[in-house]
Each structure stands twice: as C-alpha cells, then as structure tokens.
Amino acid sequence: MKNSLLELHQQRGRLRERIASQRATLAQQLVPLQNASDAGQRIVSLVRGAVAYLKSHPLPVLLAVSALVLLKPRRALRWLGRGVALWRSWRALRAWVPSSLLGRWLR
C-alpha cells in the first residue's frame, strides 16, 4: 500500500514538473502573439481617441469637408500636402532650436 502511494506521489511530482515545463515553453512561444496583440490594442486605442476628438471638435471636420467641396479634391489634397510639409518643418524647427529661444521668438 505504501509503495503504490509513494509511486502515485512520484508520478504526480513528475506530472507537475512536466506541466510547469510546458507552461514555460508556451509562455515563450506566445510572446510574438502578445506583441501583435499589444500593437492591435494601441491602434484601436488611437482610433477611439481620434473618434472621440472629432466628436468633441466638429469644427475641424466641417472645415475639412468644406475645403473638399469648395476646392475640389485635387486642389484640397495639394493644400493638405503643403500643410503637412509646413507642420513637419515646424516640428523639425522646434526640435532643433532650443525652447528658450523659441519662447522669446514667438512672444
């Protein structure tokens, strides 16, 4: 009786070790899926934030739609490209020039 009970405890210990090893292997194998899921969650969060911003600030949406209607799509896209270029230039300038100098310049 004691031998069979001892064997059962040993078998249980081996099973627990095997389960722990399998869990560790599975955790390692799921890291890429977790990274992909995190990226997906960030995208969903970004889209939800953009939708919430647009709902709380309808004027920019109205202006963009009006520009498309009034300027025709091709000309509106040209102006959009110019605006993006201007915005990128401003960001580059802000990163390059010290903020103390920009603060005095913009006053």
- Residue-number span of the structural domain to which 78 is assigned: 72-107
Cα separation, 21 vs 31, in Å, equals: 16
pTM value?
0.44
In the three-class reduction of DSSP (H, G, I as helix; E, B as strand; rest coil), residue 1 is classed as: coil
The answer to whether position 67 is within a domain reads no
Number of structural domains (the chain) is 2
For residues 42 and 82, state if they share a domain. Answer: no
For residues 81 and 40, state if they share a domain. Answer: no
* pLDDT per position as a tens digit, 33-88: 888 888 889 999 999 998 898 899 889 888 888 888 888 888 878 888 998 999 89
